[in-house]
Structure 1
């Protein structure tokens, strides 16, 4: 595949514009004429003012348009706008640059906004989430400055959630610097709120940031320390505590699998199932979701990672459609990708393509930020069929020669 720098500037503009934005729409977005846009895509008369306007409209830096820096994988115009909105919200709020006209709101309203933000994240509605996060972070920061006592602590907790959601989106989109800064702000707010469970939940997300950055030992240490700090006692436990604890154990199991430590992976999987059984059903707390079916579905992907597709397929047989109804959209989608990968490793290629195509059609926005679809296509690459080419087109990669894409990774669904 050509490198990003191999394309001409005009070709890069056309690629960044994508199918979502026509030349006329880009002209409207920039205030430039249609002939100017056409000439820019033909490498003619691309002045600096025109370049700046086009880069701003496409939500990229001019270095990306000029080929000095490649765009992030699978990043479409809406994604870039979302990421830029979230980045501005996080950095402005953390620096105290709040609009003078902003007024405090009620804790009830902030709680409702936070709940909606988590729902948008889990359902993969990132564009709407990007717009909401700016308001949530602003309102929480302004309100926290006006309150004292328990009310102030509650708002700081909600501010922590806002930062944490921003970190999760940034991590999913591959914006690692923004993920690190956001999760740092989330942890600071959780500590100020004096909420051990919320702090542990933030550490769960922090472990995921380290995992996707390839810092496996650090990811394991953060998740293990946080789990140990809130480990439930049989005589003193709550569903909220078990939910966050189970979520952390899941991160430990995923990371142990990535570290190829089969014994520790097995130990964590046993604990996962035990905590799921104690909960009895799926629970949601501070954005952490866990329960018996989460334990089973996550175990599928973990067994694939440690090279046990047969065991993964046996677990899949035990999962009924009704078991998946209590999971978030992202968790269900992630499970289906793990199913497809298990089927691929077992050489059940037709079944794998059925499963993969279902996810790509049902949740295209979510799927384009995942590495596994490309990995699955790569594994089936020897079976060069028309159907495989169709699936490849859905994820925007060729059926063969995918070495430039990310290798198979076990990414726990946050």
Structure 2
């Protein structure tokens, strides 16, 4: 991507009549990153592109371009660790006739229970157990869909397989296996649509949006979230919490894509829509098989803080974390708290805001707490590593606790 990125940045900078120094000043950066990018440096962070896009008044995606891929490590451990899951998600195909279903009739109720159990493990930071269970869960769901060739049981089996695939997509996105995650999300949406379950399909779109955002496909994520919102918009009267939560969740995904793509006006409107849906529910709504999260006023407020962080306003993140009613734990006792993942992500954003607003000690306390609370989730968070590196730059020596956290993140040997 480096040569095309360099050309794009140079083109937009010159179109604005800016020197490298002037662009850096407008973006709040030193001139070094601008020079390195225009010289073809491969080490640019996405966050730096966000800042430069804002300074130039263009979408982040306008700066990005495809380029030659970097070599893949020959000894990538995930090639073996995910072998069984990869086989289950993408089985080999031949020209032979499909084998007719054999064996006992599937127990759909038990299969649904297995899917829920795996979801609970995922949100409980039990990634090793999730990885071990998913291949068998997906194979069992495939068998059920094949066994019931038509009728209500077939539709039910399709929805269960959609839920299992959605869980696989969430897990794979979390551990940065994006191509596999995208394939699982696509099949999850297809199954839900084939079963005629619009909310499950819309929830699957929300999951795909997350994968697209994580791979910097901001335009597509915003587009599919908004188009799906139009299809499942709740009626003014008589809408269920599931309908509000699905629609509001899509609004949050669209907003997340828009703000990362330097579209703050659109992001603000979408956050407002999510807040409206959250207020209509009134408190945290939980249905992890349908939404794979919890949704309500607390979640909507937490997600809104991401926009301030991406916009470079760290002080507002810290201030709102102390003053916004929905972000106080005493409020959670009345309205219900966030999901484990959403809560952890919020505290990770808070840590980053704290170090950038001059409080590295508080930031380190947040990282240490998260490392102990959700170690499997924590070690896959790239932003945690960035935050840790920023803390280290402000310290002359590292404590034993800091070294342990850095080692867990793969930042320190």
TM-score band, normalised by the shorter chain? 0.7 to 0.9
Q: Deviations over 1:194-251 (max 9, x none)?
A: 1111111111111111111111111111111111211112123110111111111111
Structure 1 SS opposite 2:216: coil
CA contact (8 A) 2:123 2:340 kept: yes
Question: In structure 2, how many angstroms separate the alpha carbons of the residues matched to 1:260 and 1:204?
Answer: 20
Q: How many residues align?
A: 329
TM-score after normalising by structure 2: 0.73
Q: Deviations over 1:118-155 (max 9, x none)?
A: 21222221221122222222222222233332222111
Counterpart selection for 1:299 from 276, 295, 304: 304
Q: Determine the C-alpha separation between the residues in 2 that align with 1:358 and 1:180.
A: 31
Aligned counterpart, 2:134: 133
Asked if 1:345 corresponds to 2:356, the answer is: yes
Inter-CA distance 369–123: structure 2 relative to 1 (3 Å threshold): same
Whole-Å separation in 2 of the counterparts to 1:115 and 1:300:
30
In the superposition, relative to structure 1, how do residues 363 and 145 fare at CA in structure 2: closer, same or farther (>3 Å)?
same
| Cα distance in 2, alignment partners of residues 118 and 344 from structure 1 | 33
Instruction: Quote the Cα distance in structure 2 between the aligned partners of 1:211 and 1:140.
Output: 28
Measure how far apart 1:396 and its partner are: 1.8
Tell me which residue corresponds to 1:242.
Answer: 244
Post-superposition Cα deviations, 1:13-45, rounded to whole Å, max 9, x if no partner, equal xxxxxxxxxxxxxxxxxxxxxxxxxxxxxxxxx
The answer for the alignment partner of 2:73 in structure 1 is 70
Counterpart Cα distance in 1 of 2:103 and 2:306: 45
Residues 138 and 161 in structure 2, CA contact (< 8 A), matched pair in contact too: yes
2:159 paired residue number: 157
What displacement does 1:308 show?
2.3
Secondary structure, aligned partner of 2:182: helix
Residues 101 and 143 of structure 2 are in contact (CA less than 8 Å); yes or no, is this contact kept in structure 1? no
Contact 2:101 2:147 in 1 (8 A): no
Q: Distance in 1 between matches of 2:393 and 2:71?
A: 34
Task: Give structure 1 regions of 4+ aligned residues with deviation exceeding 4 angstroms.
Answer: 79-82, 93-102
RMSD: 2.7
Q: 1:98–1:203: structure 2 CA closer, same or farther, 3 Å change rule?
A: farther
Question: How far 1:177 moved relative to its partner?
Answer: 1.9
C-alpha contact 2:101 2:146 (8 A) present in aligned 1:
no
Q: Deviations over 1:151-189 (max 9, x none)?
A: 221110111111111122222222222112212211211
